[in-house]
Structure formats: C-alpha cells, structure tokens
Amino acid sequence: MTNQHATLPVRKDWDTYFMDIAHMAATRSQCPRRHVGAVLVQGKKLLGTAYNGAPMGVDDCSEAGCMLVEEYEMKLAGDGQEILVKKQRCVRTIHAEQNLLLFTDRSDREGSTVYVTDQPCWTCANLLANSGVSEVVYHRPYMKDSEKVKAMMHQRGIVFRMMEGYKPPIGTEMPLT
Ligand SMILES: [Zn+2]
Ligand SMILES: [Zn+2]
C-alpha cells in the first residue's frame, strides 16, 4: 500500500501551531534588536495577535532608530558567581504582550492561553498576571527577570511553561543581540 500523503508536512500539534503563529506575528516587528510576537488563544480559537512596536502613527525603530537605555543586569557567570554586566535595551516599543492586552477584550481573556515567542519581562508578566489569562507558553528564555517572574506566576496559579525543543518556522527567527 502506498502512502499518497507521504510528501505532505506532518500535522502540527496545537502548541506548535499557535507558537508558529506567534513567530509569524513577530516578523511584523520593526525593532532590529528584538522581534517578539504573541497570540491569544481561547480553547482552540485564535482571538488576537500582536508584536512589539511603537504606538500607531509614531515613528518606529526603522524610522527613528532604537531608543536605547543602558542598564546593569545580574548575570550568572560560568563559575556560578553572579556578576554585573552592562546591557543595552530598546525602550521605544510597546511589548508584544502589552499590545496583545490592549487589543483584546477582558471577557475573551478569562481562562485563555497566551503564546509568546520570548519569556515575558517583569512588567509584561505583571500585566499578564492581572489580565485573566490562565496559561502563558513561551519559546526563548529571558534570563533577566526569569526567577521573579516564575515565582510570581506560580503564586498567581498561572501555568507558565517553556516549549522545549521547539523550532520556529524557517525565516521567522532573527539572531538575538
Ligand atoms: Zn528598537
Ligand atoms: Zn515585556
């Protein structure tokens, strides 16, 4: 017996399906430093997509350049010691998670799942925790706020999980700076 569908791609599971869409949304971002995408899912229904960007009608990073701030961050060195490193971040954009919350309704978010390409920062995590969302799934870790974000999500009873071994669709991922 021959398999007529042998050349078709494998059917994606739901996690992969929605995370792929989050990565597609991220390709809309104009910040050359970081492309982040997020989607809102209720049951198996897609109720919103968002990416990081400047407010509507305002120059974005591609037009006005990134708006950089320098901050010292704690980082774990190879020997397990915590060290302070200077990092630059772009603060021009509204984060994808924040845009997602701005463009979706509270009633749609109750008990929903957010798929986001990157682990949320502290501010976004706080907003998500108060948004009605009951699960947050991310792909790339973001070490800066990781421990306190995980602790807060746990305390709030929100499922917070990373998709291990996930590979984004070809052509959607940019190198991190
Ligand atoms: Zn930027
Ligand atoms: Zn954020």
Cα of 120 vs centre of ligand 2, distance in Å, is 5
pLDDT band at 32 (very low <50, low <70, confident <90, very high): very high
User: What are the boundaries of each domain within the chain?
Assistant: 14-53+94-162
Distance CA 69, CA 115 (A): 27
The per-residue pLDDT for range 40-76, each reduced to its tens digit, is: 999 999 999 999 999 999 999 999 999 999 988 877 7
CATH of 14-53+94-162, one of 3.90.1070.10, 3.10.520.10, 3.30.300.30, 3.40.140.10: 3.40.140.10
Cα of 40 vs centre of ligand 1, distance in Å, is 24
> Which is more confidently placed, 148 or 77?
148
Residues tagged active-site: 97
Burial 121-158 (b: 16+ CB within 10 A, else e): beebbebbbebbbebbbbbbebebbbeebeebbeeeeb
Record the pTM.
Answer: 0.89
Residue 124 labeled ligand binder: yes
Q: Report pLDDT for 5.
A: 59
77-81 contact pairs (CB < 8 A, 24+): none
Residue whose C-alpha is closest to residue 34's, from 98, 77, 94, 109: 94
